[in-house]
Structure 1
Amino acid sequence: MDVTKPLRADAKRNREALIAAARQVFETGDEIRFDDFARRAGVGTGTLYRHFPTQDALVAAVYQEEVATLCQRAQELQATLPAVVALTRFLTEFVDYVGPRHRLARTLAALMARRADEFTEGSRALERAITELVAAGVAQGGIRSDVSAGSVMVALHGIGGAHDRPDWHTEAEGLITVLIDGLRAADSL
């Protein structure tokens, strides 16, 4: 049972400002001292350390928000579109979402390699969102029943990991098309 007290409005704003500043730093690739995150967020260093005692804790918070955003989008698509369309749109939007965040993704990947246990829940949440999209597609007859969300996750990791390629976005979109074609049930082609 989580007994964490909700944050006061000002504390919540400060926390959000710190996360936004960190996201911006990680996306631009700037290298700054940990204390400088406070200045960028417009808060004191005590506020920074109260919310995030280490840079790794701040990176983890950014990761949790990114995953929450992706999971929310998966739910929205699943609630409003036919299953195969929802899955296709999610995967395509994932490419668009990851594109400008490739530096953030690298920062997260490096941290995850050192401290994987702290990121397990986020990975599970994203896999659950994809599992629900795939399961809906199977239930509606548009996706093969022998496909796992894990396979889709592996494809997404590969797409993200190849970001340095010169024509990455076009190739990633092409791979999503190939992936969706391969996921389709034979009778839905």
Structure 2
Amino acid sequence: MAQRAQGHLRADAQINQDRVLAAATRAFARNGADTSLREIAKDAGVGIGTLYRRFPTREDLVWAVYRSEVDRICATVTDLREQHPPVAALRAWMRSFLGFLATKRAMADALKAALAHDEDQRLETRDRLSDALATLLAAGVAEGTIRDDIAAFDVLTALGGISLIVGEPDQQEQATRLVDLLIDALRPTPDR
């Protein structure tokens, strides 16, 4: 991808990039990845040239939004662990992850094209998400509130299934119930 590492940007360029990513995330969630790049630039308060300097292609922007969302969801683990008991932290992360999947689904076709030529980045991203979830599961195992035979990738896959079935905004109540069912399945029982 054309984008440089974020640590190499001037402060004003970083602000503009962050604004573009936030506007693109909103636009993709609302309208899918085919949304107008001019509208994204306008919403971000930057010129279209600024958008294209940072993201020369739509795929570059889609990939950057995806990576930004992965960074965001992984970064929440520390705060959730500090603020909540393990099961509550896990539940909050799972619900946030479903929101992430809804954004991903809205830009699925463009993301598929962006990832088609870079399997390593797709696998690295999946591993980061699995590691974040594994941290939350391990805290529950240590507390005795989560089974010790659960693979994080299996839980990610189950969340993906929930997202496919009830991933629309008007289905949030049912998605929450399904997350609670999944949490119950992760709890230790006398026969396990």
TM-score of the two chains, using structure 1 as the length reference: 0.81
RMSD: 2.8
Residue matched to 1:15? 17
Residue matched to 1:173? 176
CA deviations on 1:95-154 (whole Å, 9 max, x unpaired) are 4x35xx83x322443234332524333322211110111112112221111111011101
Segment drifting more, 174-183 vs 116-125: 116-125
Query: What is the distance in 2 between the residues matched to 1:93 and 1:53?
Result: 30
Moved over 4 A (4+): 2-5, 164-167
Residue matched to 1:110? 109
Segment drifting more, 145-154 vs 4-13: 4-13
Residues matched between the structures, number: 183
Alignment partner of 1:186: what SS?
coil
Q: Which amino acid counterpart does residue 14 of structure 1 have in structure 2?
A: N
Q: 1:175 to 1:28 in 2, by over 3 A?
A: same
Aligned pairs for 1:121-132 within 5 A: 121-132=124-135
CA deviations on 1:32-82 (whole Å, 9 max, x unpaired) are 444553344332333222211111111111111212221122221122322
Gaps of 5+ in 1: none
Segment drifting more, 125-134 vs 80-89: 80-89
Query: What is the distance in 2 between the residues matched to 1:12 and 1:87?
Result: 31
Among all aligned residue pairs of Structure 1 and Structure 2, give the percentage whose two residues are the same amino acid.
Answer: 37
Q: 1:87 to 1:57 in 2, by over 3 A?
A: same
- The alignment status of 1:153 with 2:152, answered yes or no, reads no
How far is the alpha carbon of 1:167 from its aligned partner? Answer: 5.9
Query: What is the distance in 2 between the residues matched to 1:9 and 1:151?
Result: 40
